[in-house]
Amino acid sequence: MPAAKSTRGDIAIVGYAQTPSLRDANPSEVQLLVPTVTAAIEMAGIGRREIGFTCAGSCDYLTGGPFAFVSNLEAAGAWPPISESHVEADGAWAMYEAWMRLQEGDIDIALAFGSGKSSPSNPAEVWAQQLDPYYLAPLGVDPVSLAGIQARALLDSGKATEEDFARAVVNSRRNAASNPNAQLRDADASVEALMAQPYFRAPLRKHDCPPISDGAVAVVMARGDRARELCARPAWIRGMDHRIEAHQPGVRDLTSSPSTALAARKAGYDGGPLDVVELCGTFSPQELILLDALGLSLDGDTKVNPSGGALAGNPIMAVGLVRIAEAAARIIDGSANRALAHATGGPLLQQNLVCLLEGE
């Protein structure tokens, strides 16, 4: 086998597709994926059999069946057999694995997808199970309550106010108004109107929390000249990195996200100008924490979550890869030249992934 040259920095997104974020989709998860994966492949202009590696991200706890992820693979066309893998994580981590695989240099095209239907389950019940089995899971601590603790810590630290939370939501709702795939859209959203709403889980109001969503997303990556052949303006992946903090939220400073800052640095983000940032802050205070970790703000030159972000649609297990697809879309359509996308996993921003994308 010839020695493969390092191809890091020479891999690009050349196709993507997503379903709208839906409160309650009747099709099964794999039925959501079939047209989505096909659309991403068609956008890339490749044949299905040209894909050298496929990686999928999903969560059997969401689907409610052991090995549910296996049928999702049928959306990739798994006969005759293909080279594939699965991560029990957001599709962004599937993309990370596929990107690593491409760097071996022996294949030119890889497919990553993520999917999840939150509607059949009670997310408060399901996500308590990702906490440690001794102290927190038996208490049944749900994501909204945990996010409330984080929001309170952020207020107490003086880093943000409840109005700041509302400002993040206004940015999301207004941007989402022009995104047909978003679930919660409101071109007229205002801080005053949001602040007049009652608390849902104090200090969080309902709009500070993500919607319950079903959805799927797929991304096609290609290497070097193959990427240039397939796409007039590929979204080059300059770097991708993910970092993990302590699992137990009680031992962390919940008001900051050092793992996001580190992942961004390792992905090659040097603090230089960014046209777009797509953040997977599923609660409004988390969006502020992430912006702070990246040295950005809602008022800066960088457009924050032009898609509306996770507050406008939260198809868990797809939502992170959606952020990357949205950032790539801005590069490919020429409206941005440098974009950063973020995905998260675990309780309260425990794990964070950053992907830095650039045009030519």
Partner 1 sequence: MTDTAKEHMVMEHLVTLTYHERLTENLNRYADNLLEGRIIGAKCPSCGRVFVPSKGYCSLCVVPTTEADELELPDTGIVTGFTIIAPVNYYGQKKTEPFVYASVLLDGADTTLGGMDITGVAHSDLRSGMRVKAKWKPRGERSVEAMSNRGWGGFGDVVESFEATGEPDADEEAFKEHLF
> Helices 284-293 and 258-266 sit at what angle, rounded to 10 degrees?
50
- Closer by beta carbon to partner 1, 82 or else 298: 82
Q: Determine how many CB atoms are found less than 10 A away from the CB of residue 334.
A: 10
Task: Pick from 45, 64, 258, 295 the residue near partner 1 by CB under 8 A.
Answer: 64
240: left (phi over 0), alpha (psi -120 to 50) or beta: beta
Cross-strand partners of 87: 57
- Determine which residue in the list 10, 50, 74, 84 makes contact with partner 1, applying CB under 8 A: 74
Residue from 3, 47, 79, 198 touching partner 1 (CB under 8 A): that is: 79
**From its phi and psi, is residue 308 left (phi > 0), alpha (psi between -120 and 50) or beta?**
left
Q: What are the Cα distances from residue 331, in Å, to 65, 100, 303, 341?
A: 38, 21, 13, 12
45 lies in the binding site for partner 1 (CB under 8 A): no
Report how far Cα 65 is from the mean position of its chain's Cα atoms: 23
How far apart are CB 53 and partner 1 at their closest, in Å? 17
SS3 147: helix
Site for partner 1 in 98-137 (CB under 8 A): 120-122, 125-126, 129, 133-134, 137
Helix (H/G/I), strand (E/B), else coil: 86 = strand
**Residue 138 interacting with partner 1 (CB under 8 A):** yes
Q: Please say which residue, 248 or 337, places its beta carbon nearer to partner 1.
A: 248
Residue with smaller CB distance to partner 1, 34 or 107: 34
- Asked if 271 interacts with partner 1 (CB under 8 A), we say no
Residue 40 one-letter amino acid: A
Nearer to partner 1, 61 or 165 (CB): 61
Does residue 38 interact with partner 1 by CB under 8 A? yes
Angle, CA 310 vertex, CA 307 and CA 311 arms, to 5° = 100
Residue 112 beta carbon to partner 1: minimum distance, rounded to whole angstroms: 16
Q: By CB under 8 A, is residue 65 in contact with partner 1?
A: yes
212 binds partner 1 (CB under 8 A): no
Tell me the number of residues near partner 1 by CB under 8 A.
32
Q: Which two tokens stand for residue 190?
A: 């205002």
CB 102 → partner 1: shortest distance, Å? Answer: 22
Q: Is 63 in the site for partner 1 (CB under 8 A)?
A: yes
* Alpha carbon of residue 348 to chain centroid: 14
Q: Which residues bind partner 1 (CB under 8 A)?
A: 26-28, 30-31, 34-35, 37-38, 48, 61, 63-65, 68, 71, 74-79, 120-122, 125-126, 129, 133-134, 137-138
